[in-house]
């Protein structure tokens, strides 16, 4: 089978054997935004000669995607997701069965919903490895997701805008003007100072301004201010959560997961890092639960 994790800005495809082992993988920057109106062509070009059914998760199943699937409500596990997958065929991909995974929504918080598409499948890929107890999973990114796992299902989750806010402040704010160097350059001491600052009185909206005054008063060099801001934001993100199970399971790119692991450690919370390609594992699991032919 073929597993496809198709997000807003990129696309990852995996060729899996019947046991779910990744035989080959390909990546493209033809995300949902770039592929609008030509999804079948994009997919055909990327995985053309690979055999098997195609399972897809992510924003490709949203209003701006290939076909739109509604959100399933929490709590939700592999059984509910597999049962709600939708089969689709496209004349431009003759002989292919496409199976789309729905997103997940939560609506417990007095009428302010939350949504995810794609991350639920990564979490499904993690669940079998973790066992049935209570677990906290964090998927850092532009919009980080924090999911609570309960008895092998997603009990609830929240989205946190840390990554987008960091980028906005870095590129467009008064704070960004004092920052020199590039973001890839990581300054651990400034990052730690930001995480520590997030625990003091005053609140995030006030703490942000300190990034400017620390620069103005030359208490932090310009090239370390971006790391300070990153620590400040991630520190607030983590302190606003209440992780269950004593350990946070991190799923994300190496550099970002490392920052979160460091911040969690500073706050006395353990963490464990997991591979980024959990979407393939999750899609394989959903195919099995649904009883699709995998060979």
If binding is defined by CB under 8 A, does position 49 make contact with a copy of itself? no
Judged by CB under 8 A, the number of residues near a copy of itself is 43
Q: Which of 208, 251, 257, 261 binds a copy of itself (CB under 8 A)?
A: 208
Residue range at the interface with a copy of itself (CB under 8 A); choices 14-22, 46-54, 181-189, 216-224:
216-224
State how far the Cα of 90 lies from the Cα of 98, in Å rounded to an integer.
Answer: 8
Told to check if 110 binds a copy of itself by CB under 8 A, we report: yes
Token pair 């995810």 is at which residue? Answer: 116
Q: What residues pair up with 73 in beta bridges, in sequence order?
A: 105
Is residue 177 close enough to count as binding a copy of itself by CB under 8 A?
A: no
Asked whether the beta carbons of 64 and 33 are under 8 A apart, the reply is yes
Alpha-carbon distance values, 218 to 43, 179, 211, 222, 280 (Å) = 51, 12, 11, 8, 47
- Kindly identify the residues of this chain, within the stretch 231-270, that bind a copy of itself according to CB under 8 A: 233, 236-237, 239-240
277 is a site residue for a copy of itself (CB under 8 A): no
Residue 143 DSSP label: T
User: Does residue 183 touch a copy of itself according to CB under 8 A?
Assistant: no
Q: Minimum distance from CB of 105 to a copy of itself (Å)?
A: 8
> Contact with a copy of itself (CB under 8 A): which of 26, 92, 200, 253?
200
| CB 194, CB 239: distance < 8 Å | no
* Spatial distance between the Cα atoms of 295 and 289, rounded to a whole number of angstroms: 15
CA pair distance 20, 287, nearest whole angstrom:
10
Regarding 172 and contact with a copy of itself (CB under 8 A), the answer is: yes
Task: For a copy of itself, give the closer residue by CB, 23 or 201.
Answer: 201
Q: What is the crossing angle of helices 225-239 and 254-266, to 10°?
A: 60
Half-sphere exposure of 155 (CA within 13 A, CB side): 12
Cα(207)–Cα(196) distance, rounded to whole angstroms? 11
Among 91, 95, 112, 254, binds a copy of itself (CB under 8 A): 112
Nearer to a copy of itself, 210 or 243 (CB): 210
Binding to a copy of itself in span 138-167, by CB under 8 A: 143, 158-162, 164-165
Residue number, 170 or 288, with CB nearest to a copy of itself = 170
Q: Out of 2, 69, 169, 283, name the contact with a copy of itself by CB under 8 A.
A: 169
SS3 assignment, position 51 = coil
Burial class of residue 110 (count of CB atoms within 10 Å of its CB; 0-12, 13-18, 19+) = exposed
Q: By CB under 8 A, is residue 170 in contact with a copy of itself?
A: no
Q: Say what the alpha-carbon torsion angle 272, 278, 279, 280 is, to the nearest 10 degrees.
A: 180
Q: How far is the CB of 287 from a copy of itself (least distance, A)?
A: 29
Per CB under 8 A, does 210 bind a copy of itself?
yes
Dihedral sign from CA coordinates of 90, 277, 248, 182: negative
What is the distance between the terminal CA atoms of the chain, rounded to a whole angstrom? 7
Instruction: State the minimum distance, in angstroms, from the CB of residue 113 to a copy of itself.
Output: 5
- Which span (36-44, 73-81, 211-219, 259-267) binds a copy of itself, by CB under 8 A? 211-219
Residues that bind a copy of itself (CB under 8 A): 109-115, 143, 158-162, 164-165, 168-169, 171-174, 197, 200-210, 213-214, 216-217, 219, 233, 236-237, 239-240
């Amino acid at each position: 089978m073929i597993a496809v994790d198709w997000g807003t800005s990129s696309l990852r495809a995996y060729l899996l054997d019947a046991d779910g082992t990744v035989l080959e993988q390909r990546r493209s920057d033809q995300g949902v935004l770039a592929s609008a109106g030509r999804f079948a062509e994009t997919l055909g070009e990327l995985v053309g000669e690979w055999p098997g059914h195609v399972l897809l998760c992510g924003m490709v199943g949203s209003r701006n995607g290939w076909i739109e699937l509604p959100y399933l409500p929490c709590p939700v596990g592999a059984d509910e997701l597999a049962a709600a997958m939708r089969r689709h065929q496209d004349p431009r991909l003759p002989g292919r069965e496409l199976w789309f995974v729905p997103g997940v929504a939560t609506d417990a918080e007095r009428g302010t919903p939350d949504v995810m598409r794609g991350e639920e499948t990564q979490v499904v890929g993690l669940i079998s490895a973790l066992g049935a107890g209570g677990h906290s999973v964090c998927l850092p990114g532009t919009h980080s997701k924090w999911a609570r796992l309960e008895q092998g299902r997603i009990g609830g989750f929240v989205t946190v805008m840390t990554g987008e806010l960091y980028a906005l402040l870095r590129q467009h704010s008064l704070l960004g003007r004092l920052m020199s160097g590039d973001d890839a350059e990581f300054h651990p001491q400034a990052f730690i100072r930001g995480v520590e600052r997030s625990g003091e009185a005053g609140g995030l909206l006030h703490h942000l301004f300190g990034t400017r005054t620390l620069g103005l008063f030359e208490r932090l060099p310009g090239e370390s201010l971006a790391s300070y801001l990153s620590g400040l934001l991630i520190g607030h993100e983590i302190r606003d959560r209440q992780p269950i199970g004593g350990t946070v399971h991190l799923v994300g790119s190496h550099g970002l997961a490392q920052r979160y692991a460091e911040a969690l450690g500073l706050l006395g919370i353990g963490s464990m890092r997991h591979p980024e390609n959990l979407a393939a594992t999750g899609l394989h699991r959903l195919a099995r639960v649904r009883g699709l032919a995998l060979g």
